[in-house]
Structure 1
Amino acid sequence: MSTEPPALPTRRMNPWDPPAELAGFRAREPIRRLRYPDGHVGWLVTSHSLARSVLADPRFSARSELKRAPVARPGVDLFFGVPALPGWLVDMDAPEHTRIRRQLAGRFTAHRMRELKPQIEQLVEDHLAAMARSKPPIDLVEAFALPVPSLTICELLGVPYGERADFQRNSATLFRLEASVDDAAKAMEHLNGLLRGLVEHKRGRPSDDLLSMLVTDGTLSTEEIAGVGVLLLTAGHETTANSLSLGTFALLSHPDQLARLKADPSLVDNTVEELLRYLTIFHFGVPRTPVVDVEIAGQRLRAGESVTVSLPAANRDPEHFDEPDRLDLSRRTTGHLAFGYGIHQCIGQNLARIEMRIALQALFRRFPDLALAVPPTEVPVSTDMGIYGVHRLPVTW
């Protein structure tokens, strides 16, 4: 019997459930050895309690020079072994992470997101009206799920929406698993150039947007502001677009749950949280690296050994969620880890929540008979991307 540690399982039996092997790992060894694509042997964490523990522990670093991807990704070679790009706080530890995040936190509070609600509602209604004028079937990703969060993050940052084709294309390159080092470098260079130009423009003509606020504050350098802009622009539309399209796909494929939402629109908050938990779009997990030797759950992790925290496995842990493999819009989802945990918990989570709440409620109100235009097996899911979702979602009504 082979004792070689396994690679990270990635094969799904259906669009909703993470690879079945993860449940077995979680039941037998919630922290176990994992073989990385470069041959390194590190660790995989699959239980909810251990995931929270690792993500909250300052002995586990998020620094980019220490991170390994658990799946083969040629493009990440550009970033592995080198310090974080300016402004990329997701690849930093305190105190640098704290210094930059502090400049952003006030713009992403729940109160600030509620102030954006009328703008988001108008964006949603405009796109639904355009859908209504179209002849079905249409691709919901192209018509609705992608443009709404793209427009929202553009308005928040102060990025002209006319740049969307370029930044969406280059964002997709950065998230594509098979992107080469050259392709990833060119995409990053293009995005950095776009944001640097905008930062310089806003020095002379500031307005009421996040980039202008950072410029006016004067705490961060031009390179840091541009880096923050690239990070928020790419993550801010890719993640929400995939959560919204994949969430709609899940609801259309679970008609009993969709019927509950239609009958009781007040379930929308629960619906969003349950979809975030159930689908967990960061499907390969979150990388961390201990900077000192650490003892955890009876295992000794050596400094420098890569750790992958599987968010999909943690969010399906029966020790924390009853019947976790069942989509249940009335479930209490307190403590789900779809946005991570600890100091690196997603700063844009309040924005993602309000966008999904508004979009889902309005979508099924405007199109109560919305349905898939193809069998579920023909919907192309994005297992080839660093963020899970669907490439297209053909719908009719």
Structure 2
Amino acid sequence: MTQSFDIPIDKRRNMLDPVPELLEISARKPLFGRPGGMPQWFVTDRELVRQILADAERFSSMPPPEQDGHRPDPHPGSLLQTDGEQHARLRRLVAPMFTVRRMKTLEPMMTRIVARRLDVLERAGRPADLMRHFARPVSGLVLAELLGLPRDDLPELSRLADHRVSRYSPRRDSATSEYIGHFRKLVAAQRRDPGEGLAGALIREHGDAVSDEELIGICESVANGSLENTSETIALGTLALLCHPEQLALLRERPELMDRAVEELMRYTSVVAAVSPRTALVDVEIGGEVIKAGEVVSCSVFAANRCPYGGGDDGAGDGGSGGDGGDGGAADGLDITREPGSHLALGYGVHFCLGAALARLQLRVAFTGLLERFPGLRLGAGAEELRFRLLAPQFGVETLPVLW
């Protein structure tokens, strides 16, 4: 794949693998400063990334200053770009809605949605676009059920999402405003008549203690993860399995490995290349360097997940959720038998993905349904023909033609 050098190093990929430059940087100098611009520091080492993300006392997740020195304010309900008690309060409000037990009650709904979308995929004819007919609709329909969002809003939300994440779209600013407007309309409707979705439940349980702006921000945070992160992981996870037929055959032979496969596919694809930048609140000595107060750090989740690393435990605490060209040299290859719990695809520390149980369940249901329905699933185009989204916040594939 031809790489453009205006693409940040952690967003460049050979199919789904790290480019050699990223592997070399990670091995030689996994924490380094970059002159000018933002961020000023770049981190690829897994343990250093964990240390920074876990250190909420010395590193802020608030939006860093822009080039002109202006510091944008995060949305009041942002789970990813708030600190301290503001962030803790939002998590206390929302966390009960995302417990493993509550997510399990959604499994029958997810199974029905997956089955219906597989019907649509099958009727679409061969080759069929897995992104258009399955990955995105599944994620969107689950989101609609979760939030109480009208299904008729989903096509427009998806279109607006494409514009707002593209740095080249002339509609980027207006699309962002319109995108948020959908959640503003949802919250207003739920204030009048609270339903069974997330917004309605928060209104019933907390009333005026949670503001409309906070509800809008919470809904937007959840939507960003579902519409983009989950749909891209469904598509790229499928691609990874199809490009590693021995792993796909093993999963078909041993379906009890599905939970491990989900963890491994999240790690391997790492659709969120880097979490929200962190800003040092004080001088911090780490990795043999001193990050000075006010300096900004970009933590490469992709490098931390794919460059050589050891074991470890999951973080506790909002963020986040293979290629055909071998296993990227020294990078870890796809292994669905890998011991789970050591990747950073769902973040780490106090911002560990609040919707982790939702993402894991949705991916398990989607992959299980897809592989059961289509035992002969295979790519409908050469892997070299696929076009990837490298500059969007979430790495993804534009279309994924499949046959069966």
TM-score of the pair, normalised by structure 1: 0.90
Which one of the candidate residues 367, 385, 394 is aligned to 2:392?
A: 385
**Residue 344 of structure 2: aligned partner:** 337
CA contact (8 A) 2:277 2:296 kept: yes
CA contact (8 A) 2:31 2:43 kept: yes
**Residue 305 of structure 1: aligned partner:** 295
Q: What CA distance in whole angstroms lies between the structure 2 residues aligned with 1:278 and 1:317?
A: 10
**Residue 189 of structure 1: aligned partner:** 177
- Paired letter, 1:391: E
- Paired letter, 1:150: G
Which one of the candidate residues 172, 179, 197 is aligned to 1:209?
A: 197
Q: After TM superposition, where is structure 1 displaced by more than 3 Å over at least 4 residues in a row?
A: 10-13, 77-80, 321-324
Write out aligned runs for 1:1-397 (5 A): 8-10=8-10, 12=12, 14-35=14-35, 39-40=37-38, 42-58=40-56, 59-64=58-63, 66=64, 81-179=71-169, 183-216=171-204, 217-218=206-207, 219-320=209-310, 324-397=331-404
Q: What CA distance in whole angstroms lies between the structure 2 residues aligned with 1:324 and 1:48?
A: 13
**Residue 3 of structure 2: aligned partner:** none
Higher relative contact order (CA 8 A, sep 6+): 2
Gaps of 5+ in 2: 1-5, 313-329
1:284 CA drift (Å): 4.0
- Paired letter, 2:149: V
Q: What CA distance in whole angstroms lies between the structure 2 residues aligned with 1:144 and 1:381?
A: 18
| SS of equivalent to 1:300 | strand
More moved, 291-300 vs 312-321? 312-321
1:189 CA drift (Å): 1.6
| SS of equivalent to 1:332 | coil
CA contact (8 A) 1:178 1:384 kept: no
Q: What CA distance in whole angstroms lies between the structure 2 residues aligned with 1:57 and 1:13?
A: 29
Percent of matched pairs sharing the same residue? 37
1:35 CA drift (Å): 4.2
- Paired letter, 2:237: G
1:278 CA drift (Å): 1.0
CA contact (8 A) 2:114 2:369 kept: yes
| SS of equivalent to 2:23 | helix
1:13 CA drift (Å): 5.4
Over residues 136-168 of structure 1, what are the superposed CA-to-partner deviations in whole Å (9 max), with x where a residue is unaligned? 111000110000011001110110010011111
Gaps of 5+ in 1: 1-5, 69-76
Report how many residues are paired: 379
**Residue 74 of structure 1: aligned partner:** none
1:174 CA drift (Å): 2.1
Q: What CA distance in whole angstroms lies between the structure 1 residues aligned with 2:76 and 2:12?
A: 36
